[in-house]
Structure 1
Amino acid sequence: MQADHSTNLQLILIVLSPPPGVDFAVQRGRDELVKPFLKTADAVSFAVTLTLGPSLADGSPNFRGPFAQGTPVDRFVYVNSGFYAGQMGTPWERRAKIKLADIPIALVESAVGNPNAAIEARIEGTMKDGGPVCASVRAPQISWQVVKRSD
């Protein structure tokens, strides 16, 4: 199935306050790693494109595309860190699951198909143990909003 423009959904993932010296990457498919488009001491940022297929049986969005991992009812995006992000010689081997079902439906509806809009996830990047974010990321460790590009 070829996605038409109206089903594209732009997602920006911003990992805030990442631990120093730890690399991050988003997983595409089974083993491809996508590096951040912006990396500073304060944040690591990724941009990915998802597509929306026909709604699921319960009416919820059907997230698809090479960045969408998991089953249709439990889709997520992996944010890998340390060894899983391709970094050698690090003690960290972690992946964070960004649950797509946690995106408020109103945000999905306002951003889907709009090339000037994206859903932005702001993710706390450091866990209590001082290591990179891992496991299923849920509020308050993540917040969602729609951002729009100005003309």
Structure 2
Amino acid sequence: MGRAEQTVLPMRIVIDQPVVGVAYSLQGKDGHPLDPQISRAGEALAFDFAIRVAPGPKYFGDQVRREGAERRFVYIRVGQMAGDPDSPWTRRIKIDIHDIEPALLDRAIAEGGMIETRIIGTGRDGTPACATVRPIGRRLL
């Protein structure tokens, strides 16, 4: 599939309620941390990036990871994985993108908007979230 059939779509992941003092980052193309951020007072953290969407829909991009034929997701790295060697945490958060509502995806492509996905960055036990984290909301900006 050629890039001519793909639409660039801006994305934003917002981490609400991150653990204070813990580094969070996108996972870059090479698997390394990209744009590490630390919440100093519990404020939300935001990560902007772009994906490419082809008919189907099919998802591509430096931050897009795949699992099987359908599942596509983005990793948020936490603690040591986000570049903080002194952190007691070595985790990743998996955020699915293949399940973006078709109507929202169509609107974003047609209007040229950004899709914002919000997650909670703290697990029930008070430590940084990890594994697959379901969005608490998605909207078009």
TM-score, with length taken from structure 1: 0.81
CA–CA separation in structure 1 for the residues paired with 2:6 and 2:54 = 11
Runs of 4+ in 1 over 4 A off after TM superposition: 36-40
CA RMSD of aligned residues (A): 2.3
Instruction: Give the equivalent residue in structure 2 for 1:20.
Output: 20
Instruction: Give the equivalent residue in structure 1 for 2:125.
Output: 129
Instruction: Give the equivalent residue in structure 2 for 1:8.
Output: 8
CA–CA separation in structure 2 for the residues paired with 1:112 and 1:4 = 14
Runs of at least 5 residues in structure 1 that lack an aligned partner in the other structure: 56-60
TM-score, with length taken from structure 2: 0.87
Cα distance, 1:30 vs structure 2: 3.7
Cα distance, 1:32 vs structure 2: 2.9
**How many pairs are equivalent?**
139
Instruction: Give the equivalent residue in structure 2 for 1:68.
Output: 64
Describe the superposition over 1:69-95 as per-residue Cα deviations: whole angstroms up to 9, x where unpaired: 014511100011101101111111111
Q: Secondary structure at the match of 1:102?
A: coil
Measured at CA, do residues 129 and 69 of structure 1 come closer, stay the same or move farther in structure 2, by a change above 3 Å? Answer: same
CA–CA separation in structure 2 for the residues paired with 1:47 and 1:127 = 23
Measured at CA, do residues 66 and 14 of structure 1 come closer, stay the same or move farther in structure 2, by a change above 3 Å? Answer: same
Instruction: Give the equivalent residue in structure 1 for 2:49.
Output: 48
Do 1:36 and 1:44's aligned partners in 2 also have CA atoms closer than 8 Å? no
The percent identity for this pair of structures is 33
